[in-house]
Structure 1
Amino acid sequence: MVEFFDTLITHIGLLGLLMLGLAAAVEYVAPPFPGDTITLLGGVYAVRGQHPWPLVFLVVVAGSVAGALINYQVGRWLVGRFERRPGEAFFGITHTRLESVQAQMRHKGPWLLLANRFIPGVRGLIFVAAGAAHMPRTNALVLGALSAMAHTGLVLALGAAVGGNLEKLEALMWQYQRAILGLVVVGVVAVVVRALARRKAPVAPEG
């Protein structure tokens, strides 16, 4: 698949840059989309000299912010629906669950937004939660942009480190993604175990 996108983007010239930005945006809206894999091509092109690296950097960051904005607006729409229909579940999400997510985002939201671009699979949901928690749009997007800038800069740096070799760059990013996903799974399991332990903890009798 990577070779297919490489050939396609190379042949359409500057329009290929728009494809890189679009891929970064779509990945937020549809997480199964291989946006990170396509973004790797930007790092390769920058090193090969096919496109100026500052332009690649700006296009990918802009695409990431656009995708984040869409998800943020979905979160605002979602919370609005709950406010219009209190007590009614929506796609399995209850009002209680929504309030829990809002509380978590108010407590840990800025850090999650700063790290979002480095967390594959769930990065888009972080912005949905930010919108649902009524976090200021500008603050959320600025933090998302900083995260996207750091991630895109890392991809370009890795591209330079491997001399524009797409296979090596893809292998490095795959190892990184597996490590991050492993940490996310461990974190989720730890949260679930902690929640179950709290439920089973005996209530101390009142004196």
Structure 2
Amino acid sequence: MVEYLDQLIANLSLWWGLGLFFLAAALEYVVPPFPGDTITLLGGVYAVRGHHPWPLMFGVVVAGSVLGAFINYQVGHWLGARFEQHPGKPFFGITHAQLEGLQARMRRRGPWLLIINRFLPGIRGLIFVAAGAAHMPRVNALFFGMLSAMAHTALVLTLGATVGGNLDRLVELMNRYQRGALLLVGIALGVALIRVLLKRQARAT
């Protein structure tokens, strides 16, 4: 797939290519299976080759990430409003009590989750949905999201730059990065699940 993407981007003009990177960064939030990180890594390769200026590449990827975060935030905000319009009625299988619990957790831990969201593949978009449902200030949520996107984009572009034009090395780095990130997310979710189960057991006894 990396070879195909490389050929596709190579045949695009500078601005169409930058537009593709912008769209990829946004879609990664809205459609989690979309391989946005892989495309961003290719951006590092193209920056090293001199095809796409590094500052422009950095800017469009961060902007795309913020747009994707904004869309997910608005979805969450809409869901929260639907709950308020129909109190006591489950929506998408979520009860009002569960929403209130989510809102309480986001008020306590929301800023930290938003700051690290870009490093959490698979669930990064859901964090902004939760922020919107919890009615966190939109400006604050997007500001923290922008900081996270800047740090992540700098890292991914640097990884892409380290391989130069070596696409095989790029695939290897991408696989290592994704495995490591998914492992950390899995560990965090496992710890959270164990804590929930222990609390329920304590209440039952």
Correspondence list, 1:24-35, <5 A: 24-35=25-36
| Distance in 2, Cα, partners of 1:169 & 1:116 | 23
Match for residue 111 of structure 1?
Answer: 112
1:55 aligns with 2:61: no
C-alpha distance 13-203 of structure 1, shift in aligned 2 (>3 A): closer
Q: Give CA deviations for 1:3-43 in whole Å, capped at 9, x if unaligned.
A: 11211111011201101110110110010111111111111
Secondary structure at the residue paired with 1:201?
A: helix
| Distance in 1, Cα, partners of 2:169 & 2:7 | 18
TM-score (norm 1): 0.93
Asked if structure 1 preserves the Cα contact closer than 8 Å seen for 2:76 and 2:133, the reply is yes
Runs (4+) of structure 1 moved beyond 4 Å? none
Secondary structure at the residue paired with 1:31?
A: coil
C-alpha distance 32-202 of structure 1, shift in aligned 2 (>3 A): closer
The number of residue pairs the alignment matches comes to: 204
Structure 1 residue 2: deviation in Å?
Answer: 1.6
Please list every run of 5 or more consecutive structure 2 residues that lacks an aligned counterpart in the other structure: none
Percent of aligned pairs with the same residue?
Answer: 66
Counterpart of 1:6, as a letter, is D
| Distance in 2, Cα, partners of 1:79 & 1:62 | 26
Asked if structure 2 preserves the Cα contact closer than 8 Å seen for 1:25 and 1:67, the reply is yes
Asked if structure 1 preserves the Cα contact closer than 8 Å seen for 2:79 and 2:133, the reply is yes
Asked if structure 1 preserves the Cα contact closer than 8 Å seen for 2:117 and 2:124, the reply is yes
Match for residue 10 of structure 1?
Answer: 10
1:161 aligns with 2:158: no
- What RMSD, in angstroms, separates the aligned Cα atoms of the two structures? 1.4
Q: Give CA deviations for 1:88-132 in whole Å, capped at 9, x if unaligned.
A: 111111111111111111111111111111110000001011111
Secondary structure at the residue paired with 1:26?
A: helix
